[in-house]
Structures are given as C-alpha cells and as structure tokens.
C-alpha cells in the first residue's frame, strides 16, 4: 500500500476476531476496510484436514512462542502455538465449540457493563452459529456463518471412554455450556469433514467486496498516534516499510500476545518499562500485558492393546477414505471427547474439564505418534494464577516474554484442583470399558504409582492454547479498554480479540472471541 493511502478502518490481525470484523464492517459498501495479517494465506492443505493440525505446530504458520521458565512446572518453557496465518489460531486449533457458562458472561457484564452479559450476547451466538444438532431451539443458532457440527466419524476408543466415564458416575452432558457435569463428544467447527475457520466462514465470502482489502505477509510495526489519536499504522511487507491511515479507527485484533505487544511498542503501556526501552510514552497504562490467564491441562497417556487409534490417520487407506468420503480418522479433531466435573464435593459448579484423545498426545503435541494409544487430560478452568506479557525490545519482531505464572497462586488451589483432575482421569482409565483397551502407561513414563499424578502435573502439564486477559475490558479506570473496547487514553483505537476478556470462561476461548468480534462490529457501526 502506498504511503498516504487511507481506509475507514485498519484492522491488525486476520485471526478469529479480525476475520469476523473485516466481514461485518465491510457489509456497508460505503465503508472501506483494510485487514493486515503478518502471516501467510491459508492455503496449506493441512489446515482443511481436521486431524492434521498438530503438523502445523512450530512451523511457518505458527508464531511458535515459548513461555519463560515456569518454576511450578519443573522450570520448563511451555510451547505456545499461535496461528500466524489468515484465520489465525482458528486455522490451527482443535475446532472445539464450547461457549462457556452463562455465568461467565454475566461476570463480564458485572466488570465491563451489561452489554457483555449472557442476555446481551446470546443473540450474537444465535446470529453466528449454524448448529446442526441444536440450532433453532432458542439457545443455539441456525443458519449463521459458522457451522457447529457433531463429530463425523468418532473413534471407538472415544466411545469406550464415554462408557468408562459412565461407569465412574459421569453420565451424558446435557449442554456443552458446562453448566452441569458429564461427558460428551465435542461439537466442532467443521463442514462435511473439513475444518471451517473464521477465514472460511466470514472472510472468504466477503473477499469479493471492492471495499475490503486483505493483505497477508504484512507485519505491523507500530500504531501511529498523533495528539492522542490513532491515525494509522506502520507495517512492513515485501521488506518495505509502509504507512496507511485510518479515517475512522485502528482496530487491534492480534491476540492476547501480539495486541499488548503492539500497544507497548507504540507507547501505550507501563511508562517506566517503556521508557527503559527507549520508547516514547504516549499513555501510561500499567495493566497492558497484565492479567494473563490460560487453561492449563495435564493428564496421562497409555499405549493401546488394539491398533484402532487415530495413529492410523496417516495410512494410505485412511487418506484415500478421507479423499473419497470425507470420513475416517482424518476427520478427527484429536480431542474427540470432553466433559465437566467438580474437583471436590465442596465446589458448587464444575471447575475442571476432561478431555479424551484417541491417540498418544505427547511432548506438547509436537511429536507425531507412531504407535497406537490414548490420552486422558484434565483442564483447570478457573485458574487463580495471573501472569503477564512483557516486551523486552522496542522491536515488535522480538518475541515478548510470556509468563503465564502457572500454578503460582499463593494458596496452591490451582495445583490441588488439577491434581484432583488427573486423579479423575486415572479413575476413568481404570474403569472396565477403558481398562480393557489399555496396555501400559506412556506419559509419564514408568510404573503407575503414587508419583504418577505429581509427575504428570509438574513434568507434562501444558497449555490448552487459551490465553486471554492482557488488554482486559472493564468499567474501572485501570482497565486497558472500556466497555466499548476503546483503548483508554487514545481515541480512535480499539482492541477486539481474546485479550479483552477480563476473566477466562469455563470453556474454550474460540467461541467467546468470535462473539466478542460480532458484538464489537455492532458497537463500531453504531
């Protein structure tokens, strides 16, 4: 884009939120929209094949972040994949559509205003969903851009896990919101056995509009701020530094890592830190990058007695079956089974998620399984620990320090709850329906004994890829953005992505991010 080129809106980041915003804002043919994405176009064939997403980890379509060393996790640096591609993390995720509970959104409403409560956001879920199983019931949408479908060809080990959970007192989950306990097959964002990202659902149908320009391979360097107003951005494409101006607004949709990083590199953040890096301070906002929350997961992996796991997905027969029928193990989203449980009798609502993978999911998903197995995991849904994203350089190409501060809450509740979750996984694994399928413990390696839970927690816990909160929204003056997602202290600048979530949901974060973008589009249009 030539210097001086102007658009009404400049959106930074073509991920789960940015694709939604670009499509919605460009619905008005008199409104011009530029969508900038640092990553490539979403042409890689593995993006469309559901079971292939781990192959995209730590490659050219992934930012491939690592956290700082985590003292409570054996001083490990935890791998954090984030999509660096059109569609963002919705192009490399497990496609699970789990909204969270109505109480999650009511909590948002209490923190950031009533437009963010469940009653206000439900119409947006209804607008965006095309739920083949529940759509049209008044609680789930039908005919929206984003499909929510049942698993096309679930693995028989997943069926055994559901039966085993029943043998341990966990029945069928009545609703995927997580309001009750139980287990179920995960609803997924697929259509006819293929992934549907927000790029597929929103951006691709909008690309023909003359008022929408999408530019991949465009890395934003800074937000241009003049007299307290965001006027545009500087970005690099094809090794050329360019500028583009925004007549109405600059919108950051770069995610929980990159949105606070760009704010800080542009002079919006903790003044002392920015000044120490030689960055001119525009607005002193000490909470930029703070309040980082994530879902930590830990569990156990076993070898299987029978060769029926989705490790066979790469076989010539499975590939041929997928190409011809769009069925078989390649349609798997990997984490086929999920459920919600309480960590103890004294807990009033489910505070743990259970996950089941009919395969070995080991080495943080970076190791492609070469033998048959199965993995059971527990997820800490409401961590008390809080971390931060901190820049170490004024250069946005230098990855920031990411410190989730896992299990750092001083009372140790996070660790206790996750230990309870791992123990529940072991109890389900020992139930007759699943025990009959299990050969031996693979991760953590060694005998199944009193040390297994602690080894799993400390040596193998990993992210569930759900960072939020680093540009939190709120009614209070200390929040980074207000209830309309406007950056406090800078006009014509908003943040619209998972970073604005003030408190993480009892579910996965893709659904909340999409609904945030849908709501934000209406706020911006208004």
Catalytic residues: 466
d(CA 423, CA 325): 39
Neighbours of 204 (CB within 10 A): 19
- The closest alpha carbon to 44, from 216, 213, 238, belongs to 216
Distance of CA 113 to the CA centre of its chain: 24
Structure tokens, 481: 């953005």
d(CA 355, CA 50): 17
d(CA 364, CA 372): 17
d(CA 450, CA 333): 32
* DSSP letter string, 410-469: TT-HHHHHHHHHHHHHHHHHTSHHHHTTEEEEEETTS--STTHHHHHHHHH-EE-S--B-
Pairing of strands 462-463, 296-304: antiparallel
Structure tokens, 59: 């490659």
CA atoms within 13 A on the CB side of 450: 0
Q: CB neighbours of 522 closer than 8 A, spacing ≥ 6? A: 24
Output phi, psi for 312, to 5 deg: -80, 0
Structure tokens, 115: 């437009």
d(CA 99, CA 509): 7
């Amino acid at each position: 884009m030539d210097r001086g080129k102007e658009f009404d809106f400049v959106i930074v980041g073509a991920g789960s939120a940015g694709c939604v915003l670009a499509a919605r804002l460009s619905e008005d043919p008199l409104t011009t929209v530029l969508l900038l994405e640092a990553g490539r176009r979403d042409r890689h064939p593995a993006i469309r094949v559901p079971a292939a997403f781990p192959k995209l980890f730590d490659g050219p379509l992934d930012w491939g972040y690592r956290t700082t060393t985590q003292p409570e996790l054996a001083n490990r640096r935890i791998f954090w994949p984030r999509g660096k591609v059109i569609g963002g993390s919705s192009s490399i995720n497990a496609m699970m559509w789990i909204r969270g509970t109505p109480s999650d959104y009511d909590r948002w409403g209490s923190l950031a205003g009533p437009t963010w409560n469940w009653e206000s956001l439900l119409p947006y879920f209804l607008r965006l969903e095309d739920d083949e199983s529940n759509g049209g019931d008044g609680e789930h949408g039908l005919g929206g851009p984003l499909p929510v479908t049942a698993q096309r060809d679930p693995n028989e080990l997943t069926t055994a896990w559901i039966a085993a959970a029943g043998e341990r007192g966990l029945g069928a989950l009545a609703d995927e919101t997580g309001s009750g306990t139980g287990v179920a097959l995960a609803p997924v964002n697929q259509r006819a056995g293929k992934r549907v990202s927000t790029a597929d659902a929103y951006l691709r149908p909008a690309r023909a509009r003359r008022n929408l320009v999408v530019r991949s391979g465009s890395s934003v360097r800074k937000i241009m701020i003049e007299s307290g107003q965001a006027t545009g951005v500087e970005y690099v494409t094809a090794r050329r530094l360019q500028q583009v101006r925004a007549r109405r607004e600059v919108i950051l949709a770069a995610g929980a890592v990159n949105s606070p990083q760009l704010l800080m590199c542009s002079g919006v953040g903790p003044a002392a830190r920015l000044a120490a890096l030689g960055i001119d301070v525009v607005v002193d906002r000490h909470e930029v990058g703070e309040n980082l929350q994530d879902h930590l997961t830990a569990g156990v992996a076993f070898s299987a007695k029978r060769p029926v796991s989705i490790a066979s997905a790469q076989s010539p027969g499975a590939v041929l079956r997928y190409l011809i029928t769009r069925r078989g193990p390649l349609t798997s989203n990997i984490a086929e089974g999920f459920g919600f449980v309480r960590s103890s009798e004294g807990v009033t609502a489910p505070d743990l998620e259970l996950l089941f993978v009919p395969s070995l999911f080991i080495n943080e998903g970076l190791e492609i399984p070469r033998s048959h197995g199965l993995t059971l995991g527990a997820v800490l849904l409401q961590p008390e620990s809080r971390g931060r994203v901190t820049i170490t350089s004024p250069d946005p190409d230098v990855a920031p320090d990411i410190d989730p501060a896992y299990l750092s809450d001083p009372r140790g509740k996070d660790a206790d709850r996750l230990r309870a979750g791992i123990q529940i996984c072991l109890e389900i694994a020992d139930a007759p329906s699943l025990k009959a399928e299990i050969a031996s413990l693979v991760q953590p390696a060694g005998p199944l004994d009193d040390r297994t839970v602690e080894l799993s927690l400390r040596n193998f816990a990993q992210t569930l890829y759900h960072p939020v909160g680093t540009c939190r929204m709120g009614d209070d003056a200390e929040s980074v953005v207000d209830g309309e997602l406007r950056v406090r202290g800078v006009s014509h600048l908003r943040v619209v992505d998972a970073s604005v979530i003030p408190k993480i949901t009892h579910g996965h974060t893709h659904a909340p991010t999409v609904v945030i973008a849908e709501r934000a589009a209406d706020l911006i249009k208004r």
